[in-house]
Structure 1
Amino acid sequence: MLKLENHLGVIEISEEYFANLIGHAVSECFGVAGMVSSGAVQGLRSALTKEEFTDKGVSVKAVNGSLVVDLHIAVTYGLNIATTVRSIVGKVRYVTEKATGLQVAKVNVFVDEMI
């Protein structure tokens, strides 16, 4: 659960909501072949259950009242990675800010695989 406080009160948004929202936004971007497990917990969980999870490759943290998003992705071989990443950053920032009203301070994209 992500908790943010402002002058109106406390906002609580589940991490599953962010994972779904951001995961769908990333998957719509051209050149993204898929999401990659980030961290030991996600990798172990996927290996044990043999199923895909909505939070695969997505991590969201609240820092000083704004959001920091970490993404681990696989890109399509032969495409310009810098252009693909710029597209992802813009899309994630726009979709997240529009849906939640919270400012996105940073979107970190880690290209872990090329397919």
Structure 2
Amino acid sequence: MIKFYNPLGKVCMTNEYFAGLVGAAAQSCYGVCGMATGGKSDSFKTLFLGSDFPDKGVRVTEEDGKLVIELHIKVTYGLNIAAIVRSITHKVKYAVESATSLEVRRIDVCVDDIV
């Protein structure tokens, strides 16, 4: 859960909200085929929830009031991976900062599969 304070009071946002926002922004980028499972927790969720769930391949944490986002993606074969990653980082940062007014410290993009 991400918490921050504004002049009107305390605002709490769940990690699932951020994961859905980040996942939708990342999947809308050209060259991204889908999200990959990012670790043991995602693999465990896949067994019980099926192959598609909102926070698949997304991990959002907070460091010193700024967000750290980790993405695990699948990309299309034959495309420039560096350009895809650059596009994802720009789009995700813009989407998160405009929707929540929180600052993004960094975005780590892991390309786990080429389809």
Task: Answer yes or no: same fold by TM over 0.5.
Answer: yes
Equivalent residues of 1:3, 1:62 under 8 A apart: no
Runs of at least 4 residues of structure 1 off by over 3 A? 4-10
Q: Describe the SS at the equivalent of 2:40.
A: helix
Q: Describe the SS at the equivalent of 2:72.
A: strand
Shift of 1:5: 4.8
Shift of 1:4: 3.3
CA distance in 1, matches of 2:96, 2:43: 25
Equivalent residues of 1:5, 1:65 under 8 A apart: no
Equivalence for 2:71:
71
Gaps of at least 5 residues in structure 1 are none
Equivalent residues of 1:58, 1:72 under 8 A apart: yes
Amino acid at match of 1:75: V
1:83 aligns with 2:83: yes
Moved more, 93-102 or 41-50: 41-50
CA distance in 2, matches of 1:50, 1:93: 28
Equivalent residues of 1:20, 1:55 under 8 A apart: yes
Equivalence for 2:36:
36
**Cα deviation 1:87-114 (Å, max 9, x = unaligned):** 0000000000000000001000000000
Gaps of at least 5 residues in structure 2 are none
Identity %: 46
Shift of 1:16: 1.0
